[in-house]
Structure 1
Amino acid sequence: MEQLKRFKIFTLQRMFVDENSKQPVLRFKGFKENWLPCKFNDIANTFSGGTPAISNKNYYGGNIPFIRSAEINKSTTQLYLTPDGLKNSSAKFIKKGTLLYALYGATSGEVGIAQTDGAINQAVMAINLKKDNVYFIKTWLIKNKSKIVSTYLQGGQGNLSAKIVKLLKLSLPKIEEEKLISITIMKIDNLIKLQQLKIANLTTLKKYLLQKLFI
């Protein structure tokens, strides 16, 4: 698993351009054009949500998952809203597959793809891309997380904001190249998940054997 993680880092460094380059080191055959610079605001529409009044019990306990920043990569949530909770607050409804970005606290800079329909609070930004590949942009945000956090969060303190994200600068290839890069990274991620599952299963097996083989 550690080898796969290192291989992913190696791949990201070579398949994405850095800030001083117009072309990546590693490319698929047939692509020669320079990547074009832009700002995040050029490629996506973004919005954040809000939190219904905690004191109103009628707003909670429904069937609408309330996705908070620590849950942007999860298929279940700790809290659920009622239709009234969503309607009478600034919480925003998002669809499964929406790109989500954590703005506040310890999870600042984390990125995920919504695993379920639900509502988001003010600590989560929804990113609706105009044409670009969701997995490609997710990977770009992951690759640049350390740089973004170190630039805008002094000593790990403070929050990111919609204004900061909208002005982030990046360079993009044609959509066809985006898709090929996304497929490659997705395959590596799937291999990492399989190794994680294998390790979890072996750990469970070891625990079982230790209980049965020792008095």
Structure 2
Amino acid sequence: MRGETAEGRRGTSWPVGWRRLALADAGTWLSGGTPATSNAAYWGGDIPWISGASMKDFHIKDSDRRVTQLGAKNGSRLVDKGTTLFLVRGMSLKSEFRIGVTEREVAFGQDCKAVIPREGIDPYFLAYAIKVRTPEILRMVEETSHGTGRLDTARLQELEIGIPTMAEQRRIIAAHAAFERRIVGLRGVLRKLRVAEEALAANALDQERIGRWERVRLDAVASVAAGVTLGSEPVGNGTVELPYLRVANVLDGRIDTTEVKTVRILQSRYERFALQKGDLLLTEGGDLDKLGRGAVWDGRLEECLHQNHVFRVRCGERTLPDFLALYTSSPEGRAYFQSVGKQTTNLASINSTQVKQMPIPVPPREEQERIMGAIRTIRYRQASMERQIAKLRTVQQGVVEDLLSGAERLPAA
């Protein structure tokens, strides 16, 4: 232990009675490993093997990959229930810090570290105390020569946390759990709304209904264009630097603008590559089953371009963009892209001609409006639910951070 009370981070002081503790002293630190994959006797058992790919939940209890007792003893590491486990290497470390607590005996790989808390520290309290420092921890992450993130364990161990009595630790854990229960409830509602949307979409595009509608080539009702090609960029007068959407930004049913890159183009070419609200964006390449994934651009960025690996589909008067998006993402729409996609060793791709030639159903505009009206209502409710969850997460973060620093105290029961 390093003293009964002390000044914490950002110049604040932990309350009297709290202990200041470096993470290095918070428990026993353990490294993991991977049993030889060539030895069948090591794999296929009943012990979850936790890696960066499988550690997605705070409550760690299962994995797609499992090892035998023999495998756990030959190349991996076993830990019991109540161990704090976190990721120290991987691509995800560039943007998130994965941490959780084991809820059963597990083995874990070399991309993770484990801390078995010392007496007087609850594993959930320890995990929350570390997790709340995520922004600080992510700044410690270094990029390796392979492009993955690596967290320097020695630097992490230097972080100091405040440790209250076990009774207060449990009150803080209970406060966190109360937020989690509310969030889990909202997520349950969100899942039901998504199921309802899928049912509406399937009903709207059932084969009997589609069979009654006129079919035309996509380029008969919309224009299709590729975007700006990256490479040598123009310089000097008459150029402009603008954000652009790449394949990573165009997901299945939504556009992610968390990280948007920029490109410099000639001002005279702006209109050619500029996006407009209502443009349907479809990806050119990727895994075969993801060809032509896309979403409708909502115009959230006033000026934005698209890369040449993202097709822009601009609808005319006969077709609603979100109805066209509904069809291109349907099983029939995906089947078309898969049938025409060119498969290489690792990726598949489609070209603009194939997109233009896609046969699409074109019901009367009024019928498209009726179909999309019900689906838009469901989507609006989903968006509202997602905002509630995000807001609750923000409140939870602030409350728990105050409790972990001692800035706020919970009364004893």
Give the structure 1 partner of residue 111 of structure 2: 123
2:71 to 59, 76, 85: 85
Give the structure 2 partner of residue 203 of structure 1: 194
When the two chains are superposed, the root-mean-square deviation of aligned CA atoms in Å is 2.5
Cα distance in 2 between the residues matched to 1:94 and 1:104:
19
Question: TM-score with structure 2 length normalisation?
Answer: 0.42
Give the structure 2 partner of residue 4 of structure 1: none
User: Is the 1:47–1:162 contact (alpha carbons within 8 Å) kept by the matching residues of 2?
Assistant: no
User: Is the 2:91–2:149 contact (alpha carbons within 8 Å) kept by the matching residues of 1?
Assistant: no
Name the amino acid aligned to 1:110: R
2:140 to 151, 161, 166: 151
Q: Normalized per residue, which structure has more helix? A: 1
For 1:159, what is the secondary structure of its paired residue?
Answer: strand
Cα distance in 1 between the residues matched to 2:177 and 2:62:
22
Give the structure 1 partner of residue 29 of structure 2: 46
Give the structure 2 partner of residue 112 of structure 1: 100
Question: TM-score with structure 1 length normalisation?
Answer: 0.77
Q: Go from structure 1 to structure 2 and tell me whether the alpha carbon gap of 1:142 and 1:63 turns closer, same or farther (over 3 Å shift).
A: same
Give the structure 1 partner of residue 226 of structure 2: none
Question: Bigger radius of gyration, 1 or 2?
Answer: 2
Higher relative contact order (CA 8 A, sep 6+): 1
Give the structure 1 partner of residue 79 of structure 2: 94
Cα distance in 2 between the residues matched to 1:137 and 1:196:
26
For 1:135, what is the secondary structure of its paired residue?
Answer: helix
Instruction: Provide structure 2 residue ranges, at least 5 long, that are not aligned to the other structure.
Output: 1-7, 210-413
State the 1:213 CA deviation: 6.0
For 2:151, what is the secondary structure of its paired residue?
Answer: coil
Give the structure 1 partner of residue 122 of structure 2: 133
Give the structure 1 partner of residue 154 of structure 2: 163
Q: Go from structure 1 to structure 2 and tell me whether the alpha carbon gap of 1:99 and 1:62 turns closer, same or farther (over 3 Å shift).
A: same
1:19 to 10, 29, 42: 10
State the 1:161 CA deviation: 4.2
After the TM superposition, which residues 60-79 of structure 1 pair with which residues of structure 2 at under 5 Å, given as runs?
Answer: 60-72=43-55, 73=57, 74-79=60-65
Name the amino acid aligned to 2:66: Y
Cα distance in 2 between the residues matched to 1:36 and 1:116:
29
Cα distance in 2 between the residues matched to 1:129 and 1:41:
11
- Verify: 1:174 aligned to 2:165, yes or no: yes
For 1:128, what is the secondary structure of its paired residue?
Answer: strand
Cα distance in 2 between the residues matched to 1:34 and 1:106:
40
Q: Return 69-78 or 156-165, whichever deviates more.
A: 156-165
Cα distance in 2 between the residues matched to 1:40 and 1:145:
14
State the 1:157 CA deviation: 5.5
Name the amino acid aligned to 2:79: I
Cα distance in 1 between the residues matched to 2:13 and 2:195:
48
Give the structure 2 partner of residue 184 of structure 1: 175
Cα distance in 2 between the residues matched to 1:184 and 1:18:
22
